């Protein structure tokens, strides 16, 4: 991306003064001025960004579904207390039920136990599906963290780029103000024309306007950085310059293989496909029998004298589905179709990852090659400005010629700063596409 596009365009029109030594210099800070490094900004975002905190909670919540599915393996125990207030001596009462149509006063309490013996793998398939869903949610949390790191890096570089443009605008304004005063003094001595003085005053006002615009852009970019870091307060700390400039890989193919295992969104898609396949298997096993062991025991302290004061029983229940109107077959078909669709989703994500890496690499390579071109352009514009100044001072050139040379030098400086931070942003996007920001 190009930093501060509107501002750069305005400055290129407005600014016309040499300031080669000012770009790249850091504003002197007092010892009490706090500083912020890129690593600190990322750490703050990871700790405070609400979107990441929400993703972490959702990941933890999805892991509870594994416990829910596994609960079918454990016995189900319940306690009951049942009473019949108005009853006839011909009835019988057991904990959990009032049975027979005869009525008598009864009260009973006791417990029931049910234990799954086997459902021929349906529960294990449900557990596997829940585990895969939890893995997918964890991968989405990882993807969110990578996106937040990318947003912080880009916002950080945008602030640095906007401040570089602001320094250029302030230097240009100071230089034009000085030139305007010098021309005014020369005009009083009739060494320069009033036209030159008026032209210099216009350029000074344009430079002042460019400073105002640059200050506004810096504030906006710092606001974006605050949002990326998850802070409600505007970040006012001085940003530490990033001096490391890593070369991009020689070809995008160097990153493709690693991205297949490192991209979190691809891992999430694969986990979702596995979850759908496991769920389809569990739906298939709906048609299988299930076997449960049952038990019950309790006391009947208030009862008819013909009944015993306690009861207990144990047994089993074998459930064999025979016909339910095609419900199970329809559920199985739906789950299998969804699993197949998920497999194609995985292929789609792989294609997107490949395209993103290639596009990000080409953009990064373009930005990297632009660095050398921008540096040469700065050197050439400085030499042209020196010659234009010599011609103007010797009375061989006009102020219009000098202004054009100053404009070219200023635009070259701004483009150089812009190229540096554009490359850093492009490299961050390439790292994200390759899954290196997880």
Domain range for residue 77? 5-433
Average pLDDT over residues 17-38: 54
Q: Are 312 and 297 in contact (CB under 8 A)?
A: yes
Non-local (6+) Cβ contacts of 365 within 8 A are: 248
Average pLDDT over residues 245-268: 90
CA-based nearest residue to 175, from 16, 24, 20: 16
pTM score: 0.80
Q: Extract the runs of DSSP E, i.e. beta strands, from 154-239.
A: 238-239
How far is Cα 161 from Cα 142, in angstroms, rounded to an integer? 29
Q: Are 127 and 38 in contact (CB under 8 A)?
A: no
Within a domain: residue 438? no
How far is Cα 434 from Cα 291, in angstroms, rounded to an integer? 50
Distances (CA, A) of 195 to 14, 179, 199, 213: 18, 14, 6, 27
CA-based nearest residue to 113, from 295, 307, 248, 292: 295
The pLDDT assigned to 102 comes to: 52
Within a domain: residue 245? yes
CA-based nearest residue to 265, from 118, 365, 150, 155: 150
Within a domain: residue 280? yes
The rounded percent of the chain whose pLDDT value lies above 90 is 56
Question: For all residues of the chain together, what is the average pLDDT?
Answer: 85
Other C-beta atoms lying within 10 Å of the C-beta of residue 92: 20
The pLDDT assigned to 18 comes to: 38
pLDDT band at 95 (very low <50, low <70, confident <90, very high): low
Within a domain: residue 299? yes
Average pLDDT over residues 316-334: 94
Q: Extract the runs of DSSP E, i.e. beta strands, from 157-309.
A: 238-239, 290-302
Distances (CA, A) of 366 to 185, 328, 360, 430: 48, 57, 10, 12
Within a domain: residue 121? yes
Within a domain: residue 194? yes
Half-sphere exposure of 427 (CA within 13 A, CB side): 17
Distances (CA, A) of 179 to 17, 214, 356: 9, 22, 50
- CA atoms 182, 402, 20, 31: torsion sign: positive
Determine the Cα angle at 330 with ends 324 and 336, to 5°: 140
More reliable by pLDDT, 102 or 417: 417
pLDDT band at 428 (very low <50, low <70, confident <90, very high): very high
Other C-beta atoms lying within 10 Å of the C-beta of residue 204: 21
Identify the CATH number of the domain in which residue 346 sits. Answer: 1.20.1600.10
The pLDDT assigned to 277 comes to: 97
Strand partners, 297: 111, 312
Supply 88's token pair: 């006839």
Other C-beta atoms lying within 10 Å of the C-beta of residue 321: 12
pLDDT band at 22 (very low <50, low <70, confident <90, very high): very low
- Quote the number of domains for the chain: 1
Within a domain: residue 74? yes
CA-based nearest residue to 357, from 424, 419, 421, 431: 431
Non-local (6+) Cβ contacts of 430 within 8 A are: 248, 255, 357, 360, 361, 363, 364
Max mean pLDDT among 7-21, 92-106, 357-371 falls in 357-371
Ramachandran bin of 24, using left for φ above 0, alpha for ψ from -120 to 50, beta for the remaining angles: left
């Amino acid at each position: 991306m190009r930093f501060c596009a509107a501002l750069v365009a305005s400055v290129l029109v407005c600014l016309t003064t040499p300031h080669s030594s000012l770009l790249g210099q850091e504003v002197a800070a007092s010892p009490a001025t706090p500083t912020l490094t890129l690593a600190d900004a990322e750490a703050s975002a990871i700790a405070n960004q609400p979107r990441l905190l929400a993703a972490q909670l959702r990941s933890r919540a999805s892991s509870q579904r594994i416990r829910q599915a596994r609960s079918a393996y454990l016995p189900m125990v319940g306690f009951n207390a049942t009473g019949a207030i108005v009853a006839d001596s011909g009835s019988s009462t057991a904990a959990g039920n009032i049975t027979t149509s005869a009525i008598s006063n009864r009260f009973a309490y006791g417990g029931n136990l049910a234990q799954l013996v086997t459902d021929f793998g349906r529960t294990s398939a449900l557990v596997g599906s829940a585990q895969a869903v939890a893995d997918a949610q964890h991968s989405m949390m990882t993807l969110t963290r990578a996106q937040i790191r990318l947003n912080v890096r880009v916002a950080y570089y945008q602030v640095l780029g906007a401040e570089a443009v602001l320094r250029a605008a302030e230097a240009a304004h100071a230089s034009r103000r000085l030139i305007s005063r010098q021309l005014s003094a020369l005009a009083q001595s009739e060494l320069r024309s009033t036209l030159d003085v008026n032209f210099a005053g216009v350029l000074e006002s344009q430079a002042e306007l460019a400073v105002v615009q640059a200050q506004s852009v810096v504030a906006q970019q710092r606001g974006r950085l605050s949002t990326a870091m998850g802070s409600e307060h505007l970040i006012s700390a001085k940003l530490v310059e990033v001096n490391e400039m890593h070369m991009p890989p020689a070809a995008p193919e160097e990153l493709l293989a690693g991205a297949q295992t490192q991209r979190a969104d691809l891992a999430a898609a694969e986990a979702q496909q596995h979850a759908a396949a496991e769920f389809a298997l569990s739906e298939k096993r709906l048609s299988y029998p299930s076997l449960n062991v049952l038990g019950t025991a309790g006391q009947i302290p208030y009862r008819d004298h013909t009944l015993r004061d306690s009861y207990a029983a144990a047994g089993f229940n074998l459930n064999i589905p025979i016909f339910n109107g095609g419900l199970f077959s329809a559920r199985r078909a739906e789950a299998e179709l969804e699993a197949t669709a998920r497999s194609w989703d995985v292929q789609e994500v792989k294609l997107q990852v490949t395209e993103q890496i290639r596009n990000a690499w080409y953009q990064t390579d373009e930005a990297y090659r632009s660095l050398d071109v921008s540096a040469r352009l700065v050197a050439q514009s400085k030499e042209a400005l020196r010659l234009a100044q010599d011609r103007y001072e010797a009375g061989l050139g006009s102020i219009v010629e000098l202004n054009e040379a100053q404009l070219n030098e200023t635009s070259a400086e701004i483009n150089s700063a812009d190229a540096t931070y554009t490359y850093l942003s492009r490299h961050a996007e390439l790292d994200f596409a390759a899954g290196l920001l997880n």
